[in-house]
Chains A and B, each alone.
Chain A
Amino acid sequence: NAGVTQTPKFRILKIGQSMTLQCAQDMNHNYMYWYRQDPGMGLKLIYYSVGAGITDKGEVPNGYNVSRSTTEDFPLRLELAAPSQTSVYFCASSSLGHENTEAFFGQGTRLTVV
């Protein structure tokens, strides 16, 4: 019962470095999402995907890129990391649009840019 798996759990990046946050789900969900959560704040949608090969921008897409080549995987790419990208990143998946609309979340990736 893996659900949604995010790697890594923690990462420290230097300004200007790049990295990819990995997200994989084994529930055959069509919808996947990336959020960031700043301290004491809610979740802000970065990118989402309604199926393999389809991605769309959310509320705060600048500085990020995504791809969805398979149903299972939805990696988030940070290019030229900036201190403003210090946050906790959550990946989620759901079968939204069907009877079971629950979004399942990964455990989060705590990213610090210094």
Chain B
Amino acid sequence: QKEVEQDPGPLSVPEGAIVSLNCTYSNSAFQYFMWYRQYSRKGPELLMYTYSSGNKEDGRFTAQVDKSSKYISLFIRDSQPSDSATYLCALGGDKLIFGTGTRLQVFP
């Protein structure tokens, strides 16, 4: 069983749509939950992180963690073409494990 599962997409949505990205994980030892954004031919950049169950909001982005279900989500409100990228969930403890990434395209 993989430690983290993420739907690879691709996901194509119109500008202004609400986007929901999700990951499930199997190891309850992970303590930190993160979302990274990666543009083509670039290294990933941290978008949001949290270490507890619940919601964390930052502008148009909301990260949600449910430790009991081992489920993490990222919501993007009012999506923009500039949000087009690959979004990777990441789980941290001693090691840092990434999901496969979901490729998102927002069209005008």
Contact = CB atoms under 8 A, between A and B. Distances in A.
B96 A106 contact: no
Contacts, number: 67
A45 B43 contact: no
B35 to A, nearest CB: 12
A96 B97 contact: no
Nearest to B102: A42
B43 A106 contact: yes
Interface residues of B, number: 26
Nearest to A48: B95
Contacts of B98: 35, 42-45
Contacts of B34: 101, 103
Given A105-B43, A108-B43, A42 B101 contact: yes
Interface residues of A, number: 26
Interface of B: 3, 6, 8, 32, 34, 41-46, 49, 51, 88, 90, 92-101, 103
Interface of A: 31, 33, 35, 40-45, 48, 50, 56, 58-59, 90, 92, 94, 96-97, 101-103, 105-108
